Amino acid sequence: MTFDITKIARPNILTLEPYRCARDDFTEGILLDANENTHGPSFSGMTESENKLELNRYPDPHQQVLKKQICEFRNNERIGEDKIDINNLCLGVGSDESIDALMRCFISPGKEKMLICPPTYGMYSICGVVNDVEIVKVPLDLETFDIIPENILNKLINDPLIKLVYITSPGNPTAKKISESNVFKLLEEIEKNSLNVIIVLDEAYIDFSPIGSSLCTLVNKYPNLVVLQTLSKAFALAGIRLGITYSNYQISKLLNSMKYPYNISNLTSDIAIRSTTAESLKETKNKINKIIEQRGIVLDKLLKLKYVGQNKGGLNANFILVEILNKDLKPDNEIANKLYLTLAKENKIVVRFRGNELGCNGCLRISIGTSEENEILVSTFEKVLNDINNQLEL
């Protein structure tokens, strides 16, 4: 099947053209075209670097410098002929804006559907409800937390109203990277069966996996593949809200036509550009390695505790998913939730209770902190968990 965007995108979206202004053609001189306040901000104490950002001016709607650096980074990671360029990228306010934009682009509200694979990231469902999109669920393999391509494909074949499939890799809360072979199998079977479906691979945590794990450079090879990434996790820039959507030229053009023209602020752009230089990327990798090292230390210590079961998830993110056991050494949601609340309320240590997620009975999701934070976590964790179970035995 030759990819045909006219059979997937909503008709009204296909008619869109990107917002244009005089600044697209002229960027120098006395700029009196955009109704900006040329006197500048009124608060005192601005630094020299802040002044250079020209915060009284609208930001660059195209962000070509930033996009070029991102492309160079990702192209250098994965060996092969498949490459991306700036025309494959659309930037958003975190991945959440991208998740929402894809629904608005490809799913007719109240008519068409999306598919998710629980346990998975909760914002897919929230965005689905907001956009009046019916949500179809095909669970992951609850032993491996990988997708089951045959189950997804069967659902797609039997329900042509499904237009988007959201897959998180590495998963949240599972920390498990979806196997490339399963992703490729699903993409190829969709093409073989001439299905008008887009696979959205959310790679928010991909940089905690081995270098070259991202599939973002393959969006031209597989035109119905869209990859989402963010600077919030591995780049430690959650506060700037910068998300990246990689897709083929046709999809990227639609997404860039849909987005608000100045969605990436001067402040966000400046920090993102500085964080994706060669020097900064090297330091980011050093910090990732520290997190991975600490992840192993924390997990090893926790798994030795009497009332901690198995590492339920994978080892491809900056968090772990561990089972909390009762006095009978069985995974227990009541114990896990009590541990979560006691750690937060009485010890000021906040983790995440995930026991209500499919396949995650009795589980806590624990982010990996600094070595000092992790030492406090482990020692407090053991004491509180033992106290809870001892109290229940009385």
Which of 58, 82, 108 is the last residue before a domain boundary?
58
Taking only the tens of pLDDT, the chain with its 394 residues reads 578 899 899 999 999 888 877 777 888 888 878 888 899 898 888 888 888 888 988 898 899 999 999 999 999 998 888 999 999 999 999 999 999 999 999 999 999 999 999 999 999 999 999 999 999 999 999 999 999 999 999 999 999 999 999 999 999 999 999 999 999 999 999 999 999 999 999 999 999 999 999 999 999 999 999 999 999 999 999 999 999 999 999 999 999 999 998 999 999 999 999 999 999 999 999 999 999 999 999 999 999 999 999 999 999 999 999 999 999 999 999 999 999 999 999 999 999 999 999 999 999 999 999 999 999 999 999 999 999 988 876 5
Same domain, 378 and 388: yes
Whether residues 177 and 254 fall in one domain: yes
Q: Looking at residue 80, what DSSP letter applies? A: S
284, 257 in Cβ contact below 8 A?
no
Question: Looking at the 3D structure of the chain, how many domains does it have?
Answer: 3
- What pLDDT does 153 receive? 98
- On whether residue 14 sits in a domain, the answer given is no
Residue 180 lies in a domain: yes
Separation of alpha carbons 369 and 349, rounded Å: 11
Do 90 and 208 lie in a common domain?
yes
Asked if the structure places residue 11 within a domain, the reply is no
Say what the pLDDT of residue 317 is.
98
CATH value at residue 227: 3.40.640.10
pLDDT, position 17: 83
User: What's the pTM value of the predicted model, to 2 decimals?
Assistant: 0.95
Are residues 244 and 295 part of one domain? no
- In this prediction, residue 393 carries a pLDDT of 66
Q: Does the residue 324 lie in any domain?
A: yes
Residue 9 lies in a domain: no
Helices vs. strands in the chain: H and E counts, helices first? 12, 11
Give yes or no: residues 246 and 376 share one domain. no
Instruction: Report how far residue 119's alpha carbon sits from residue 358's, in angstroms, rounded to the nearest whole number.
Output: 5
Same domain, 293 and 262: no
Do residue 342 and residue 218 come from a single domain?
no
**What backbone torsions phi and psi does residue 352 show, to the nearest 5 degrees?**
-135, 125
Give the pLDDT confidence score for residue 344 in this predicted structure: 97
Q: Are residues 171 and 31 in the same domain?
A: no
pLDDT given for residue 1 in this prediction: 58
Q: What are phi and psi of 320, to 5 degrees?
A: -125, 160
Domain hosting 354: range is 281-393
Q: In whole angstroms, what separates CA 215 from the centre of its chain?
A: 13
Q: Which of 276, 310, 339 is the last residue of a domain?
A: 276
- Residue pointed to by tokens 């901690």: 308
